[in-house]
Structure 1
């Protein structure tokens, strides 16, 4: 059995990680521009100033997608490229760039999926409080309206936010990502509520301007994998747990308000004294219907039920395989993550990111041989197909990433692409895994 006949086979990127041209053609600065230009923030002391130079090489990159048979391309808009100050004046050259990219995709029959926010907040808005400023949701609605008005005639699929768990957790709690803050829970809860209100206002703007739009919200997810059937309910319960100390990375904290119109009861009780005021109007706004959920799944954890019925994490055996970045390879995480999500929320699902960092290099024959990535993708896609066969409504898969790119705090140390990038020459080389992925697309997963 294959995936559904209209299954979406894609690849994904993010603006700051590939575009470069950080100060060209009227673009404003983002928090990542500032963060990477601050000493000691990036492990290899690099920046995204040039990255993959996709801003100037997008035609070459779109042609590569076409050659690999990719049917859909998920990319993000750099907010400060359109609105240098985050609001107010519109930068026409930024509009022109994304129009040209979308038109190029259309010329090759590749469906664009736009992510509105993939972490690069305009620095001008950051100086006004950023996500701590309660007015940020109005700014996001304005930005979304400009995107919709300019691109909505050709783009019908939009994702409002990518991985709010990570940009709030790493950026505002742990301090390892831009803007590098370590805030108290009271402030973090306020940020999260403002993000969710921004999501709701973006949905409102998209529905108003693009009548046939399809809207999603993408979550970072490291699913809990039950060791045996008797552990399934413990894994499920722990996977959606939400309380003091774990709310930023919780699955239910972000999706329950969007799907059910309410925050998990435990988080409200745990933080009754500091939780931001969530009015009925807020919750109605946040829970405006969406069309699908995106899940970014790379790894997970094995669990079993303890004597009290609660999930206990089971350590991987010594020598368990890991990717170059150090993440455990657990293909079953895709099966259980999509199963648990579909059981709970009953919405169509896309894997909006999945891939592997590997120690890639150009071999003597001038090619990039990455059998470990091919094996990784094969194993994860087999588990995704199993989930679809068992009843989860899986609509598509976006491999992360099309190109090697700037990997946030790791700089250029990690290579996730199915296309190799020489950052000095900007030469692109399709890796063996890219050609393998082409065959999977051509056969709609029958060969997995």
Structure 2
């Protein structure tokens, strides 16, 4: 397979560090390690108005011209709503033991609060039962970015009332599915949906306002904990309640430069610590970000710091790359800018992200270093590369090599004492990739969006073989597609 020139450049030495395990196999991770793949409602379900489903902020956002590449949308997506049994059969055929998915809030509560859609709940009833029938443990994420439009009209995440709205929704889902779903994630990557949606304006609801961002961030922090408490009140004692965090290993653009190193610390406080530390009862990282005092003065009420804390059973670590940081006087709050992989001349994926699977090792180490950190799971990890379906096959050697390297980095962390209990590839199938539309493909399974035909990619075949117990090759990092040697 011939890849574009940007994938043919030599990889940085840290791509496959000498300390990475080689070789390794599934049994090395232990018998209780969870192996799965992840998906999200808006990115896969389609059926956007089916049986009374209410609109979400992503239905609204994708109607705007020019905000999504090629003006694409998720109204059909991969039609998972109608094809979930086929996709679950494929997941089981890959040897997965676990499947992580999200519920669409407005499918269950079309107006966000009030009247419950029995038909919407029935879909998730059927989906959970179908997982269990295939010996796939369901991991249900309550919120993966698709706020009901009716709640956005009332201020959305910038309205403090969203904390109560979300807790009510969480408790409803717990009561209805808690007899069969034992693993729950409260939020998916809160820094992304509040930052990209309320500060940068590139995701729904498309706002660009520092005050809206800080309000939404504080309310999401409260909702993260209140959602956990709402679930705890109705779920069986054995249920596992967690939440997920986006994160990137950060390094200064000019090591030793005091401005870049300080900028890196500030960026770390925003990108990696902002939602983690309040959950531990540590409050916001104000020392590194003095501007947060404005948030505290304007939005935080007495007792909030205690309300932001919750003892999660696990954290989901969602990592794709590292970021290189430099000082910037033009970006308030963190006074830092990211130096893109293209600017640095290093290999990158279709998302523009540096090919750097060692980042997951560093983030597992960073999160595990907190006192009282719970068990960690890698709940998203993957890469988007160009795919071509030829003769019923997709030869995606670059993704296969990335998957192998990332899993090796998880084992490296585990062998160094990190309590990591699972790995979920992003994603099970190709899907709607938010502002990027249907261009970037992350899936282990290729989807033809015109015909909805599914093809298991070579990376999916490798994952299947690995999960069957086959050992990884004796030396990592010799992928011809990545190194072009």
TM-score calculated relative to the size of structure 2: 0.84
Are 2:450 and 1:428 equivalent residues in the alignment?
Answer: no
Aligned to 1:264: 285
User: Highest relative contact order (Cα 8 Å, sep 6+), 1 or 2?
Assistant: 2
Does structure 1 retain, via aligned residues, the 8 Å contact 2:246–2:271? no
Cα distance in 2, alignment partners of residues 417 and 154 from structure 1: 27
In the TM superposition, what whole-angstrom CA distance separates every residue of 1:142-197 from its partner, at most 9, and x where no partner exists?
Answer: 1001100111000111111111111111111111111111012x332211111111
Q: Secondary structure at the match of 1:223?
A: strand
TM alignment of 1:315-394, pairs within 5 A = 319-345=345-371, 346-363=373-390, 365-394=391-420
Q: Secondary structure at the match of 2:35?
A: strand
Does structure 2 retain, via aligned residues, the 8 Å contact 1:14–1:76? yes
Shift of 1:63: 0.5
TM alignment of 1:176-191, pairs within 5 A = 176-184=202-210, 186-191=211-216
TM alignment of 1:34-433, pairs within 5 A = 34-184=60-210, 186-210=211-235, 211-224=237-250, 241-242=265-266, 246=267, 249-266=270-287, 269-275=290-296, 276-279=298-301, 281-301=303-323, 319-345=345-371, 346-363=373-390, 365-433=391-459
Quote the RMSD (CA, aligned, Å). 2.6
Are 2:25 and 1:3 equivalent residues in the alignment?
Answer: no
Cα distance in 1, alignment partners of residues 100 and 357 from structure 2: 22
Cα distance in 2, alignment partners of residues 420 and 207 from structure 1: 37
Does structure 1 retain, via aligned residues, the 8 Å contact 2:163–2:226? yes
TM-score calculated relative to the size of structure 1: 0.90
Q: Secondary structure at the match of 1:113?
A: strand
In the TM superposition, what whole-angstrom CA distance separates every residue of 1:1-59 from its partner, at most 9, and x where no partner exists?
Answer: 61122110000011000000000111000000011112111111111000000000001
Q: Secondary structure at the match of 2:238?
A: coil
Shift of 1:374: 0.3
Deviates more, 1:252-261 or 1:145-154: 252-261
Does structure 1 retain, via aligned residues, the 8 Å contact 2:38–2:101? yes
Q: Secondary structure at the match of 1:272?
A: helix
Deviates more, 1:31-40 or 1:211-220: 211-220
In the TM superposition, what whole-angstrom CA distance separates every residue of 1:190-210 from its partner, at most 9, and x where no partner exists?
Answer: 111111111121111111100
Gaps (5+ residues) in structure 1? 305-310
Does structure 2 retain, via aligned residues, the 8 Å contact 1:224–1:336? no
Does structure 2 retain, via aligned residues, the 8 Å contact 1:42–1:411? yes
Distance 1:117 1:47, change over 3 A: same
The count of residues paired between Structure 1 and Structure 2 equals: 432
Distance 1:301 1:55, change over 3 A: same
Does structure 2 retain, via aligned residues, the 8 Å contact 1:353–1:400? yes
In the TM superposition, what whole-angstrom CA distance separates every residue of 1:212-256 from its partner, at most 9, and x where no partner exists?
Answer: 2211121111112699xx99xx999976x44xxx58843221111
Q: Secondary structure at the match of 2:70?
A: coil
Does structure 2 retain, via aligned residues, the 8 Å contact 1:11–1:402? yes
Distance 1:274 1:219, change over 3 A: closer
Cα distance in 2, alignment partners of residues 100 and 60 from structure 1: 13
Aligned to 1:308: none
Cα distance in 2, alignment partners of residues 442 and 261 from structure 1: 42
Distance 1:224 1:160, change over 3 A: same
Q: Secondary structure at the match of 1:378?
A: helix
Does structure 2 retain, via aligned residues, the 8 Å contact 1:3–1:445? no
Distance 1:254 1:319, change over 3 A: same
Cα distance in 2, alignment partners of residues 397 and 103 from structure 1: 23
Cα distance in 1, alignment partners of residues 269 and 90 from structure 2: 37
Q: Secondary structure at the match of 2:171?
A: helix
Deviates more, 1:375-384 or 1:272-281: 272-281
Does structure 2 retain, via aligned residues, the 8 Å contact 1:225–1:333? no
